[in-house]
Amino acid sequence: MFSVGKTSPFAERLIRVTQECLYRGIEATRAGARLGDIGHAIQSHAEANHFSVVREFCGHGIGLTFHDEPQVLHYGRAGTGQLLEEGMTFTIEPMINAGARQVKILPDEWTVVTRDHKLSAQWEHTILVTATGAEVLTRRSDEQFS
C-alpha cells in the first residue's frame, strides 16, 4: 500500500486501520486455528472503526496454481472454516472500504472501484502457518510483529 501525494487525515486513518486488520489476521493465524478466525479478526477491527470489508476478493493459498485453495475470506465467524495446519501457506490481503462494502469491476476487466466511489485500502502478506503462529514470508525490514 502506497500513498501518492498528500493524503487526507481520513485517508491516512483508513490506510492505518487496513494495515491493522492485516496484522490482526496474521495474529489469528496458527496451527489449530480456523480460517474463520482470520476473517473474524479482520472484520471485527474494520467494523469497530466504521469501515467495511470487501467480500468479492479474498486471500488465497500458495501452491501449484495461481490463487490456489484455500480461499482466505476477510470476514467471518470465529471457530468456523478450514482447520489451519502447520506448513500451510497463503495470503491475507484485506481490502477495506470507507463506505459500503460493494465494489464493481470496470470494463477493462482489471480496475476495481467501490460502488459508492468512496476510498478503499488494501494490504497483503504471504503467511506460513507454524506450530507456534505464523511466519510472514513477505515481511519488510521495517515491520515489527508480536
Q: What pLDDT is stored for residue 141 in this prediction?
A: 87
In the beta sheet, which residues pair with residue 80?
Answer: none
Residue 26: inside a domain: yes
Residue 107: inside a domain: yes
Higher-confidence position of 84 and 132: 84
Q: What pLDDT is stored for residue 146 in this prediction?
A: 58
Residue 115: inside a domain: yes
**Residue 83 CB: number of other CB atoms within 10 A?**
10
The structural domain count of the chain equals: 1
Alpha-carbon span 99 to 79, nearest angstrom? 28
Q: Which domain holds residue 47?
A: 9-136
Q: Are strands 68-72 and 59-61 parallel, antiparallel or unpaired?
A: antiparallel
Report residue 59 CA to chain centroid gap: 7
Alpha-carbon span 93 to 71, nearest angstrom? 11
The mean of the pLDDT values for the chain is 94
Residue 142: inside a domain: no
Determine whether 47 is exposed, middle or buried from the number of CB atoms within 10 Å of its CB (0-12, 13-18, 19+): middle
pLDDT at residue 125 is higher than 80: yes
Residue 49: inside a domain: yes
Q: What pLDDT is stored for residue 66 in this prediction?
A: 76
Question: Each residue of 62-112: pLDDT tens digit?
Answer: 988 878 899 999 999 999 999 999 999 999 999 999 999 999 999 999 999
**109 to 104, 112, 144: CA distances (angstroms):** 10, 8, 36
Residue 3: inside a domain: no
Q: What pLDDT is stored for residue 63 in this prediction?
A: 87
pLDDT (mean) for 39-68: 94
Find where cell 497463503 sits: 90
Residue 146: inside a domain: no
Residue 143: inside a domain: no
Question: Which CATH number belongs to the domain containing residue 65 in this structure?
Answer: 3.90.230.10
